[in-house]
Amino acid sequence: MSQSPVALAIVAAIVFGTILFALLAVRRIKMDPSQYIVGGRSFGTIFLWVLLAGEIYTTFTFLGIAGLSYSGGAPAFYVLAYGACGYAISYFITPAIWRVGKECNLLTGPDFFEARYNSRTLGIATAILYFLMVVPYVALQLSGLQILLRIAGYGAYNATASVCIAFLVLALFVFTAGLRGTAWASIVKDVLVLGAVAFAGIAIPVRFFGSPSAMFDRVTAAHPAILVLPTGSAFHGTVWFVSTVLLSGIGWSMGPHSFSATYSARSGDSLRRNAVLLPFYQAFVTLMIFAGLSAAMIVPGLKGTAVDQSFLLVVQHYYPSWILGLIVAAGALAALIPASALLLAGAAVITKNVAGDVFGIATGDAARTRLTRILVLVVALLALGFWLTGQRTVVELLLLYYNGIAQFAPGVFATFLWRRRATALGVGAGIAAGLAVAIPLAALNITPWGLNAGLVGLGANVATLVILSLIVRPRA
Amino acid sequence: MRSMLRLLLAAIPIAALSIAVPLVNRIEPRILGLPFLLCWIVAWVCLTPVFLWTIGRLEKRW
């Protein structure tokens, strides 16, 4: 146990050092709502890159992908596939969203719905849904952080208090630094994460098997079926794979923080350049699959949620504590930095679309920045409370996020593809129908014909949108 | 015509990474040590930028 302070000290030094670095980087920036929430719409290709790349490398990358590779094998490949599909779609859709954001001076995702459908009601309804999705998604990052810190502490402590401290420091950081601070912190995070991913995916297979290729020989010999998908409608089979890739690709740019990142671009072309380049960066996720499969050979027998710790346990058992510290620090930043973007987007949605549009408070620039800052802290406390009280329901409500976020896509796409006919009523009812179908199916683990529940919901969503928009004409 | 071509260019990697997957769901032949399914997916993830870059060229953006 004498090792434990070394790893934890490295994690603490890197996390707090990164936050300090980002605070210093933004100390001269004067904050108005546009600067605070969407970085003054001034981010060029590189700044945008680190911000958007944050969405690829979250705590899910560190724990979930390796864990899914460990327990399931080939189904984990879907993460690689859907990101590339997401970028192929975002090449077209994000510059279009950006242009609307620039022309109408939009700050949040719900603003987009409100402006394009000329309906404040739709803006408010989407704002509330986005808010309900952000809280459990932030709470999930906290669960990931707790797993990481427990491993860095060599199981000697529970880490709940450390998670609370780290998260409150993060909330104060967002309070001060806004989206630009998140982008600066992402630079440090990306460098560390790439190093950690390369170590996990290359150094581990080389040390234990000689090469990644030899690792695959071992895996195929031990579990011949694990590197292909079950066929047809079986659990995690090919039907599930195809439908999940499509659903997740469609939902890729629809999260509340994705709208913030899109608005923050300097030009549509910086978004296009990122859509072209980011799949290369995403290809590195392959290494996490290597790490998870290696762990399945080195430390077999983990069950249930313990699989999320797979390759980290290998590092903990076989490598010096400073390496464990560096890797956990990268994972901790991968949990905290995306959480900071989510906090900001969640707070902005409430300030602008609920407080401002419903109650008419904090509509001036100074008041709006102040209220967003206060709400960052409120959202952080809510997420923390949610995490502390109901850790089991986090997983259930997470289904709301993954299946829910894609339900916003038809309404966004329709404003460009079907502008003259799509109505606010159709879009709103479509989202409601999509959620009403997808959430119960996902919660009860029902997969019709092996299809992803969210994609079934998306079908109901599009059908409702089209039928209602055609039948019910808005009063002129 | 040109906009159809652009959409087609984006649709090719999406189709290769989704509906084509059941057709390549196998381990052999191994390429560079990777099982065929994984190699197919990684290759198409790396080819996606080529398709998107070509669309940008057609639009005369770079």
pLDDT digits (tens, 9 = 90+) for A46-95: 888 888 887 677 888 778 888 889 988 999 999 899 999 999 999 999 99
Q: Quick one: pLDDT at residue B9?
A: 95
How close does chain A come to B1, measured CA to CA in Å?
A: 17
Whole-angstrom distance, CA of residue A347 vs CA of residue A331: 25
User: Does position A362 have pLDDT exceeding 60, yes or no?
Assistant: yes
pLDDT of residue A413: 93
CA distances from residue A33 to A260, A262, A367, A371, A401 in whole angstroms, order as listed: 12, 16, 9, 10, 26
Answer yes or no: is pLDDT of A1 > 50. Answer: no
- Over chain A, what is the mean pLDDT? 89
Domain ranges of chain B: 2-58
Question: Is the pLDDT reported for residue A416 higher than 50?
Answer: yes
Helix axes A120-152, A310-318, angle to 10 degrees: 30
Distances (CA, A) of A112 to A93, A105, A416, A419, B26: 13, 10, 12, 14, 44
Mean pLDDT of A167-184: 90
Q: For position A392, what pLDDT does the model report?
A: 53
The B-side interface with A (CB below 8 A) comprises 10-11, 13-14, 17-19, 21-22, 25-27, 30, 32-35, 37-38, 41-42, 44-46, 48-49, 51-53, 55-56, 61-62
Return the amino acid letter for A160: T
Q: A213: nearest CA in chain B?
A: B33
Which residue numbers of A have CB closer than 8 Å to B's CBs?
A: 74, 77, 80-85, 87-89, 91-92, 211-214, 216-217, 220, 224, 227-229, 231, 238, 241-242, 245-246, 249, 269, 272-273, 275-277, 279-280, 282-283, 286, 289
Q: Which residues are CB-neighbours of A347 under 8 A, at least 6 positions away?
A: A372, A373, A375, A376, A378, A379
Q: Is it the case that residue A434 has pLDDT exceeding 50?
A: yes
Cβ–Cβ gap B34/A214 under 8 Å: no
Residue with tokens 């992908």: A65
pLDDT single digits (tens) A289-334: 999 999 999 998 888 778 888 889 999 999 999 999 999 999 999 9
CA dihedral (A336, A341, A347, A348) in degrees, to 10, reads 170
- Greater confidence (A473 vs A462) lies with A462
The per-residue pLDDT for A106 is 93
Residues 6+ apart with CB under 8 A from A321: A3, A4, A6, A7
The residue extents of the domains of chain A are: 4-392
Pick the residue of A45, A65, A91 with the most B CBs within 10 A to test the interface with B by mutation.
A91
Read off the pLDDT of residues A181-221 as tens digits, 9 standing for 90 and up: 999 999 899 889 989 999 999 999 999 999 999 999 999 99
- Cβ distance of A91 and B10 shorter than 8 Å: yes
User: What pLDDT is attached to residue A443?
Assistant: 79
Give the confidence band of A399 by pLDDT, cuts at 50, 70, 90.
low
Q: Can you tell me the mean pLDDT for A367-388? A: 90
Residue B42 backbone phi and psi in degrees, to 5: -60, -45
pLDDT of A249 > 80? The answer is yes
- Measured CA to CA, the distance from residue A442 to residue A437 in angstroms comes to 9
In the prediction, which pLDDT does A27 show? 86
Contact list in A for residue B44 (CB cut-off 8 A) is: 81, 84
> Could you give the count of Cα atoms lying within 13 Å of B17 in the half-sphere of its Cβ?
32
User: Which pLDDT score, from 0 to 100, does residue A138 have?
Assistant: 87
Q: Which amino acid is at A233?
A: S
Could you give the CA distance from residue A167 to residue A173 in angstroms, rounded to a whole number?
10
Mean pLDDT of all residues in B16-40: 93
Whether pLDDT at A391 is above 70: no
Considering only CB atoms, A228 lies closest to which of B33, B37, B51, namely B37
The structure's pTM equals 0.91
Which one-letter DSSP state was computed for residue A304? G
Taking an 8 Å cut-off on Cβ atoms, the answer to whether A228 and B56 are in contact is: no
Correct CATH for A4-392 of 1.10.10.10, 1.20.1730.10, 3.40.50.2300, 2.40.50.140:
1.20.1730.10
Instruction: Note if the bond before B29 is cis, omega within 30 degrees.
Output: yes
* pLDDT(B47) > 70: yes
- Is residue A167 a contact partner of residue A329, using CB atoms and an 8 Å limit? no
Of B21, B55, B56, the CB nearest to A238: B21
CA distance linking residue B52 with residue A94, whole number of Å = 14
* Of residues A3 and A177, more confidently modeled: A177
Length of chain B: 62
The residue written with tokens 């969503």 in the block is: A461
**Which of A78, A211, A216, A289 should one mutate to test binding to chain B, selecting the residue with the greatest count of B CBs within 10 A?**
A216
Q: Tell me the mean pLDDT in the region A351-374.
A: 87
Do the beta carbons of residue A307 and residue A72 sit within 8 Å? Answer: no
Q: What is the mean pLDDT of residues A372-387?
A: 91
Torsions phi, psi of A210, nearest 5?
Answer: 105, -40
Query: How many Cβ atoms from other residues are within 10 Å of residue A284's Cβ?
Result: 18
| Average pLDDT estimate for A446-475 | 89
